[in-house]
A and B are shown apart, each in its own frame.
Chain A
C-alpha cells in the first residue's frame, strides 16, 4: 500500500531535549516536505527536499533541521525544542516538485513541548 509513515504519532517532551520525527514514503517520490499546522494558520511549510541531498527552507524553518540521505526518508530534527514548537506536524511527498503535483500526507505527529 502506498503510504507516508510518520513516527511517533504523539510525543510530550521538555524544553531543550533533542528529538527527531521520522518520515518514510514507499512511492519513490522525489519531493518531500514538512509542515506544521496551527489553529487558524493552515499548514505552513518548514523545509522541503527536491531530491536526495537537496534540502531547502520553507516559510518557518527556524528551530528545525532536516536531512535527505535516502530517497525514502526525510527526518525532522528539533535540536533544542521550545514551547512555541508545540504543534501538529505533517510530512508529505509527491512525485516531483511539490508545487505542481498532488501531495500525499502522513497521519501527523502531535508534539507537545513543556
Chain B
C-alpha cells in the first residue's frame, strides 16, 4: 500500500523566515497532492493542492512543488507570520503524512 513520509516533524522559524516541509510517497496511483493546515483544536483545512500535470503552484505566500520522478512534493511558506503556526499535513492516495508542527516565533 501507499506510504507517505513527512519531514520534519517539528519546525521552528523566526517571523519573516521561510519554511519548507517535504513529503515522499511510494505509489503513483493518484495524481492529486493536497496540503492541509490544522490549527490547535480545529479541523484540518485545505490550504493548497496540486495535480501531477504541473510542477509548481503558488497562492500568495504559500506554494507547492512536485517532483514526480523522485516521488516527493513540498510545501513552501514565505514571509512566515505567527498565524502560520499550526500542524501541516500532506496527503497522497488518501494517506496522511504524520504531520509537521510549525511554530513561528515573533
Decide if A44 touches B98 in the complex (CB within 8 Å).
Answer: no
Decide if B89 touches A103 in the complex (CB within 8 Å).
Answer: no
Decide if A100 touches B44 in the complex (CB within 8 Å).
Answer: no
Chain A residues whose CB sits within 8 angstroms of the CB of B46 once the complex forms: 102-103
Chain A residues whose CB sits within 8 angstroms of the CB of B34 once the complex forms: 102-103
- Size of the chain A interface, CB-CB below 8 angstroms: 22
Chain A: minimal CB distance from B93 (Å): 5
B-facing mask of A8-48, CB < 8 A → 1, else 0? 00000000000000000000000001010000111111001
Point out the residue from A58, A99, A105 that lies within 8 Å of B43, measured CB to CB. A105
Decide if B44 touches A41 in the complex (CB within 8 Å).
Answer: no
Which residues in chain B, 18-34, are within 8 Å of chain A measured between CB atoms?
29-32, 34
Decide if B32 touches A101 in the complex (CB within 8 Å).
Answer: yes
Decide if B32 touches A105 in the complex (CB within 8 Å).
Answer: no
Assign chain B's interface to a size class.
Answer: 20 to 34
Chain A residues whose CB sits within 8 angstroms of the CB of B97 once the complex forms: 42
How many inter-chain residue pairs (CB < 8 Å) link A and B? 47
**B90: nearest residue on chain A (CB-CB)?**
A42
Is B45 engaged at the interface, CB distance under 8 Å to the other chain?
yes
Is A61 engaged at the interface, CB distance under 8 Å to the other chain?
no
Point out the residue from B9, B43, B93, B95 that lies within 8 Å of A108, measured CB to CB. B43
Chain B residues whose CB sits within 8 angstroms of the CB of A90 once the complex forms: 43-44
Given A100-B30, A108-B43, A45 and B98 contact (CB-CB distance below 8 Å):
no
List 19 contacting pairs A-B, 8 Å CB cutoff, sorted by A: A33-B94, A35-B96, A40-B98, A42-B6, A42-B89, A42-B99, A44-B96, A45-B95, A48-B94, A58-B94, A90-B44, A98-B94, A99-B30, A99-B93, A100-B32, A103-B44, A105-B43, A106-B43, A107-B43
